Amino acid sequence: MREQQAIIVPKISSFPAHEARSRAMLRWLVQQNIVEAQVSTCGRSSNKMANGIAAGARRIVEHPELLPFNQPINGLELVYERCIFTPLEDFQEEAGCPECRQEIGAALFDSLEEWMPGHSDNFSCPECGHEDDLNGFLFLEPCGFSNLGFIFNNWAEAVFKQSFLDEFAERLGYPIALVRVDL
């Protein structure tokens, strides 16, 4: 099976008190027995540390038989720095303005040079001037731009249930994007 990630990203560039909120979300996931409380070397990042998959994860996905229980990389990693979350393969970089509905992908993705270091959270449509958080624009493929991300390593094939995603967003306090990354 090919490795992949399911990444939950709040649709806000600068999540307020993002580290505190991520700890609260992690506590909830542990209480629900979705991930383990203790970190272990089940992650993909440089230090490999992540919260491993737990038995309760079976309740929140459509295909529990596809969860990575027998894989060495199966944990939840938290991202606390500004990051661009997009699919790695064949991402089309197409975006539209929610106001004028014009295609503005090239300009929007060029603006990431200003967004990444935190000079601005917003983008202005070159067609009509509509300004919003980068996440407020329309994308053909799920993607997210935030200083907070929840990376579930090798969980994408199992497919999160919509009820779980809805509860996740409600507890987080912001709408979310679910980004699938095939590695």
- Region class of 160: left (phi > 0), else alpha (psi between -120 and 50), else beta: beta
Assess whether 71 and 131 both reside in one domain.
no
Assess whether 77 and 160 both reside in one domain.
yes
To the nearest whole number, what is the mean pLDDT of the chain? Answer: 97
Mean pLDDT on 74-89: 96
6 contacts: CB under 8 Å, gap ≥ 6: 151, 152, 155, 156, 160, 178, 179, 180
Per-residue pLDDT, 143: 97
Assess whether 10 and 43 both reside in one domain.
yes
- Which amino acid, residue 39? V
- The answer to whether the beta carbons of residues 60 and 164 sit under 8 Å apart is yes
Both tokens of 164, joined, read 């779980």
Assess whether 25 and 109 both reside in one domain.
no
Assess whether 66 and 9 both reside in one domain.
yes
pLDDT at 13 over 90: yes
Looking at the whole model, is its pTM more than 0.85?
A: yes
Q: If you search the block for the tokens 């975006």, which residue do you land on?
A: 95
Domain count of the chain?
2
Assess whether 29 and 112 both reside in one domain.
no
Both tokens of 59, joined, read 């309740």
Assess whether 11 and 78 both reside in one domain.
yes
Per-residue pLDDT, 122: 96
Assess whether 22 and 70 both reside in one domain.
yes
Range of the domain at 40: 4-84+142-179
Assess whether 154 and 77 both reside in one domain.
yes
Per-residue pLDDT, 1: 66
Assess whether 54 and 110 both reside in one domain.
no
Both tokens of 174, joined, read 């912001």
Assess whether 15 and 77 both reside in one domain.
yes
